[in-house]
Structure 1
């Protein structure tokens, strides 16, 4: 079906596949969308997702290379510098919040 492909979501490092629908968003969860440059493929999405997922409090990460957007769901607001460091560690550049 083309609906899944259009959502721009790919399998995540934990083996689950997303469709852009919110997952793991419990009551009180904070969703933040970041803009990242340099992503070109599913491998890029996975590398960024893996690094950001390691930040304490993060419950889910959806990186989409086609748009350069990374959606992060966390228990509390994240420190943007911690997210920037994780993206940098993965080899990409966080340009700010989307």
Structure 2
């Protein structure tokens, strides 16, 4: 059984990526000024893993929501502006997993 863990802060307007987690290039601007980026994370196997990754990424300044799905290894992040990939990598490392890159 795979659980979807969602850490939510104040919502921004939804866009094409907010519900599906997929977009043309892995990152798309949302009309309200936010950016959705989908990352590929290696090593997540369960709801606990999803929660750990979501919790660490949520601590990055400017992140408004994180959705991690262990079954696909994809983590969808909505933020005020594009995130520094090194900051995301450090957060994923802190959770005990490996950031492969943008999906």
TM-score, normalised to structure 1's length? 0.78
Candidates 55, 75, 85, aligned match of 2:60: 55
State TM-score, norm by structure 2: 0.74
Give the unaligned 5+ runs of structure 2. 9-17, 21-29
Deviation at 1:73, TM superposition (A): 0.2
Residue-by-residue CA offset, 1:55-95 (whole Å, 9 max, x unaligned)? 00000000000000000000000000000000000000001
Inter-partner Cα distance in structure 1 for 2:83 and 2:4: 24
CA distance 1:37–1:81, shift in 2 (3 Å):
same
Instruction: Specify every segment of 5 or more residues in structure 1 that has no aligned partner in the other structure, as ranges.
Output: 15-19
| Counterpart position of 2:34 | 29
Deviation at 1:9, TM superposition (A): 5.3
The 1:34–1:28 alpha-carbon spacing in structure 2 relative to 1, beyond 3 Å, is same
Q: Is the 8 A contact 1:9 1:63 kept in 2?
A: no
Structure 2 CA distance for aligned equivalents of residues 70 and 40 of structure 1: 13
Cα-Cα RMSD: 2.2
Equivalent in the alignment of 1:10: 4
